[in-house]
Amino acid sequence: MLKDGQLQFLQEKARVVRRHVLRMIGLAGSGHPGGSLSCVEVLVTLYFTVMRIRPEDPGWPERDRLVLSKGHAAPALYAVLAERGYFPVEELWTLRKLGSRLQGHPDMRKTPGVEVCTGSLGQGLSQAVGMALAGRMDGADFHVYCLVGDGECEEGQIWEAVMAAAHYRLGNLTVILDHNGLQIDGPIRQVLCPEPFPEKWRAFGWECVEVDGHDFGQLYDSLLRPERPSSVPRVVVAHTVKGKGVSYMENRVEWHGKAPGPELLRIALEELER
Amino acid sequence: MKRHTRDAYAEALVELGRKRPEVVVLDADLSVSTRTARFAEAFPDRFFNCGIAEQNMLGIAAGLAASGKIPFVSTFAVFASMRACEQIRQSIAYPRLKVRVVASHGGITVGADGASHQCTEDAGVMRAIPNMTVVIPADATETAWAVHQIVDIPGPVYMRLGRPAAPVVYPDASRLRWGKVTLLREGSDVVLLGTGIMVSRCLEASAILEAEGVEAAVGAVSVLKPLDEESVVALARRCGAVVTAEEHSVIGGLGSAVCECLAERYPVPVRRVGIGDVFGQSGEPDQLLAHYGLTPEAIAEAALEVIRRKQS
């Protein structure tokens, strides 16, 4: 359970992160606002409450890891990392610019706090499996979190990794499925339906819970690491709204990968002032 | 004398495993064929059979490497270099992770399984990926030696082995220098540059040429990338004519690498002996090598042709 006052703090962080995301993408002139805004609460919960991390020492071996398998949500991750102190907030405005440490998709060699190189969908979860295996081999206590998109589950490699994680009994791995229902070409149910998620993941041997992906209380309770060592990997299906927080972007497929112009950016930032 | 490169790989891997606890091995249901089963037997806790799921296997390797392990990943060359190609590019090569992809069953000498399992494109595909080191040892001796060389390279490595036993070129590893062309025979009329099993065939070709009064130098190029350009240029300058020989498509492999280098730095007549722009087929390894023109005779013929060209 979240403690008193924590909820307000997290809500405020999410609001600030959303404003960063929009300004970053607006300044860059390109990027993916829809899927960045849908996972803001997930990332804020992880980085501000659940994960054991040391922003001043990003390579700390015992740190919990977050693998952003849906790499196009990089702006949300960068904004959270900056707010958490991994690098200065001012650096966010260099997103996608030549020479920037903030690449269009996550680059572990450039950005402090970024764990893997993603952006080609379907690959992050396999890497998370490798990290969880390494942790177990070393008897390390870290937990691996992996944020996967719902459209991303159309990639076959996801299911190879899902199978492997259960086979290797990786209780130190938690997947958060950002289930916003939309992909570039339309609703996931129309393009190539990867549902039903809970049934599929459970059939592959995972523990599954469903939460409101914008509700901090539910996210916190579901993302806390298991109290006792577990041998079953866990998926948290987070029901989310693509473009969450900006009226004209919410549930609109065309805002998957488009930057708002100056006027629309102004409107969006205004909406997020309160 | 012949010896399987994959046997040498497995033995060296077990030896390496004893010295280096961070070495782990992954395979995709081919551990008997690739011989990684021997490592699995010696170090069951450091071996992961990833099943018939190569893309996931390379991703897992990336995650292990990002966490301080040094994964050696084995499967057949065709699956390693192409089924999981983009995983190698995105998850491994882009972040320069220390994953060692050691692929067996390279080339057409896979034999009777036919084109689906024969891999003639891997060196070209892997060479095109930034940060990647590409290695094709000449024989079992060099394979075992190379396992200990590649373990600490600060980036990804692709090393190709073959299915059948390969003629032994090196009685021991004393002559080998990492990344350098190994000059196996002096000569000044033409230089034959071979890789993999074609190194021994270049030596056979040099004997044929000697009988015709031609002195051919023979160089073994085991590291295709980064190419030992200084040695290649020096040999081209000395001999004035070059033949490359590889059990690989003439597109993208050793022949391409040498031509790219010489075209810019020291243009001389070159002939590429390799597999044309075609797929393989079923057959016995020696039959296939003859069918696709990968014989000592074909190398010698190519040598005579480039010598004529340099004289005209």
pLDDT digits over A11-30, tens only?
999 999 999 999 999 999 99
Q: What is the pLDDT of residue A118?
A: 98
Residue B172 placed within a domain = no
Q: Identify all chain A residues contacting B53, using CB atoms and an 8 Å cutoff.
A: 157, 160, 163-164
Q: What is the pLDDT of residue B232?
A: 98
Interchain pair A120, B69: CB under 8 A: no
Looking at the structure, tell me whether residues B276 and B231 fall in a common domain. Answer: yes
Residue B266 placed within a domain = yes
Which member of A117, A130, A138 has the closest CB to residue B95? Answer: A117
Q: What is the pLDDT of residue B104?
A: 98
Q: What is the pLDDT of residue A228?
A: 81
Looking at the structure, tell me whether residues B202 and B138 fall in a common domain. Answer: no
Q: What is the pLDDT of residue A229?
A: 81
pLDDT digits over B162-217, tens only?
999 999 999 999 999 999 999 999 999 999 999 999 999 999 999 999 999 999 99
Please check whether residue A29 is in contact with residue A23, taking contact to mean a CB–CB distance below 8 angstroms.
no
pLDDT digits over B76-119, tens only?
999 999 999 999 999 999 999 999 999 999 999 999 999 999 99
- Measured CA to CA, the distance from residue A27 to residue A47 in angstroms comes to 25
Looking at the structure, tell me whether residues B61 and B109 fall in a common domain. Answer: yes
Q: Enumerate the domain spans of chain A.
A: 6-271
Listed residue (B252, B247, B299, B221) closest to B110, CA to CA? B247
Q: Identify all chain A residues contacting B129, using CB atoms and an 8 Å cutoff.
A: none
Interchain pair B64, A123: CB under 8 A: no
- The whole domain housing B154 covers 2-167
- Nearest residue of A to residue B26, measured between CA atoms: A130
CA distance B81 to chain A (A): 16
Q: What is the pLDDT of residue A225?
A: 86
Looking at the structure, tell me whether residues B135 and B241 fall in a common domain. Answer: no
Torsion over CA: B194, B199, B201, B206 (sign): positive
pLDDT digits over A176-210, tens only?
999 999 999 999 999 999 999 999 999 999 999 99
Please give the positions of B annotated as active site: 54
Q: Please give the full DSSP string across B151-189, using - where no structure is assigned.
A: TT-SS-EEEE--SS-EE---SSGGG--TTSPEEEE--SS
CATH of the domain at B54: 3.40.50.970
Looking at the structure, tell me whether residues B222 and B159 fall in a common domain. Answer: no
Listed residue (B72, B93, B76) closest to B9, CA to CA? B72
Which member of A107, A161, A168 has the closest CB to residue B59? Answer: A161
Looking at the structure, tell me whether residues B183 and B158 fall in a common domain. Answer: no
Both tokens of residue A94? 């260099």
Q: Identify all chain A residues contacting B131, using CB atoms and an 8 Å cutoff.
A: none
On the 0-12 / 13-18 / 19+ scale of CB atoms within 10 A, B145 is buried
Q: Residue B56 — pLDDT band, cuts 50, 70, 90?
A: very high
Residue range B64-80: average pLDDT? 98
**CB-based contact, B58 to chain A, within 8 Å:** yes
Looking at the structure, tell me whether residues B229 and B92 fall in a common domain. Answer: no
**CB-based contact, B61 to chain A, within 8 Å:** yes
Q: What is the pLDDT of residue A4?
A: 83
Q: What is the pLDDT of residue B238?
A: 98
CATH of the domain at B280: 3.40.50.920
**CB-based contact, B169 to chain A, within 8 Å:** no
Number of structural domains chain B divides into: 2
Q: Give the domain-ending residue among B124, B148, B167.
A: B167
Looking at the structure, tell me whether residues B246 and B270 fall in a common domain. Answer: yes
**CB-based contact, B63 to chain A, within 8 Å:** yes
Looking at the structure, tell me whether residues B139 and B225 fall in a common domain. Answer: no
Task: Report CA-CA distances (Å) from A17 to A27, A78, A179.
Answer: 15, 9, 20
When the pLDDT of each residue in chain A is averaged and rounded to a whole number, the result is 97
Looking at the structure, tell me whether residues B247 and B143 fall in a common domain. Answer: no
- Nearest residue of A to residue B60, measured between CA atoms: A130
Listed residue (B72, B164, B179) closest to B134, CA to CA? B179
**CB-based contact, A123 to chain B, within 8 Å:** yes
Both tokens of residue B231? 């040695």
Question: For domain A6-271, which CATH number applies: 3.40.50.970, 2.40.110.20, 3.40.50.720, 3.30.43.10?
Answer: 3.40.50.970
Task: Report CA-CA distances (Å) from A247 to A103, A264, B63, B223, B266.
Answer: 27, 11, 38, 57, 64
Q: Give the domain-ending residue among B167, B197, B227.
A: B167
Looking at the structure, tell me whether residues B98 and B151 fall in a common domain. Answer: yes
pLDDT digits over A52-91, tens only?
999 999 999 999 999 999 999 999 999 999 999 999 999 9
Please check whether residue B185 is in contact with residue B217, taking contact to mean a CB–CB distance below 8 angstroms.
yes
Q: Chain A neighbours among B 36-55 (CB < 8 Å)?
A: 45-46, 48, 50-51, 53, 55
Determine the 3-state secondary structure of A238 from DSSP: strand
Q: Give the domain-ending residue among B127, B146, B167.
A: B167
Looking at the structure, tell me whether residues B145 and B181 fall in a common domain. Answer: no
Q: Residue A227 — pLDDT band, cuts 50, 70, 90?
A: confident
